Structure 1
Amino acid sequence: MIRISTSLKAIGDEEFDSLYPMKIKMLSSTHWTPVEVAKKAIAFLDQKGGNSVLDLGSGAGKFCLIAAANSDAKILGVEQRENLVQISRKLAEKFKLDRVNFIHGDLKDLDFKNYDAFYFFNSFEENINLKDRLDKDNRIDFVQYRSYIDLIRRKFDEVAVGTRIVTYCGEAAEIPESFRLVNSSNKGKLKFWEKK
């Protein structure tokens, strides 16, 4: 049996993932951000302290929760699946994380100019890869995948100079030319971007 830490600052992946129901836990290696990746990401995204960070496709909330426990940033996760939003909110409440919030919605309805930084873990991959499907409704949809990539590129192009993005996995096709790659880590899977 895994003993649960009282703090998310010292928690590891196995311990964190044990907080989830079994079905959600089983998806962790494919869909949820590893703890150490989340810590590296938030360290870059919140260098000034107190930034407003948006997680695009927050899933079960792992990045947001780890980020909130390891920074002074205000974290918002947006997720289309209401059951994942509910799980995320319960964990935020359990760990008394008051600078994190989760909304059930679509990122296309959000104004990106309201945020200082963004985290993006290949959120649209589920439209082109059915490995470890999140639910039975998942299906291949290249048109939707491309439309989301185009939408997010336009929204990123509109944000202020100095805005930061961290991408994990994927080809970073959603990052417009107005951003420069500052650094990378984890064998190139973790990329750190800043608006020029």
Structure 2
Amino acid sequence: MELRELTDEEFDLLYPVKIKKLSGTHWTPVGVAKKAIAYLGEGGGKSVLDLGSGVGKFCLVAAVNSEAKITGVEQRMNLVQISGKLAEKYQVENTNFICDDLRNLDFNQFDSFYFFNAFEENIDLRDKLHKDNSINHEQYHAYKKLIRKKFEELPVETRIVTYCGDASEIPESYRLIKSGNKGKLKFWEKRV
């Protein structure tokens, strides 16, 4: 089975049943991942960070559709392990997954970023990723503020793709280049 050719339904079958059920809420659709990596990996030799990579669906789809080096950061070790096993099984070598908090990452190691509303789980408990999840507005706003600061500190021409969410974490120094998927998918580039 070739990962590059899989539909969303086929891709989701690679995951355990419990994980597959969360796909509609938490995992990037295959078509969105392909559009995002076409922009983020443009020009080759890029290093892309997926913030809140979950089970690695964006990273895996992006990696098999580009030459970019794709890194996923996720706080839950069980999700990182699932991602790593799939990358190994399908021999996807240009991706890796790390279990860490984005607060600990140096964003300057990356050329571009993918962000699928990763903090929403702090304010919306539908399709919980973990049984202990609870509403935490303070954490939600703290992460949004932190990521905005980290994005602001990056060099001109840094690219970001956001999917869903209000994009309030994107500083004014970035310009919206284009959008798709009824305005849910947005392509940004730092201009100043």
- TM superposition score category, shorter chain reference: over 0.9
**Which residue of structure 2 aligns with residue 131 of structure 1?**
126
Shift of 1:8: 1.3
Where in structure 1 are there 5+ consecutive unaligned residues? 1-5
**Which residue of structure 1 aligns with residue 144 of structure 2?**
149
| 1:75 equivalent in alignment to 2:63 | no
- Give the 5 Å matches for 1:16-35: 16-35=11-30
CA distance in 1, matches of 2:148, 2:132: 26
Q: When the two structures are superposed, what TM-score results if normalisation uses the length of structure 1?
A: 0.97
| 1:37 equivalent in alignment to 2:32 | yes
| 1:106 aligned residue (97, 101, 105) | 101
Residue 161 of structure 2: SS of its match in structure 1?
strand
- Give the 5 Å matches for 1:1-196: 6-196=1-191
Write the letter of the residue equivalent to 1:193. W
Shift of 1:137: 1.3
Deviation beyond 4 Å, 4+ runs, structure 1: none
Write the letter of the residue equivalent to 1:127. N
Write the letter of the residue equivalent to 2:55. A
CA distance in 2, matches of 1:83, 1:157: 31
Residue 14 of structure 2: SS of its match in structure 1?
coil
CA distance in 2, matches of 1:157, 1:94: 37
CA distance in 1, matches of 2:126, 2:114: 22
Shift of 1:20: 0.3
Count, aligned residues:
191
CA distance in 2, matches of 1:130, 1:145: 13
CA distance in 1, matches of 2:125, 2:98: 25
CA distance in 1, matches of 2:68, 2:102: 19
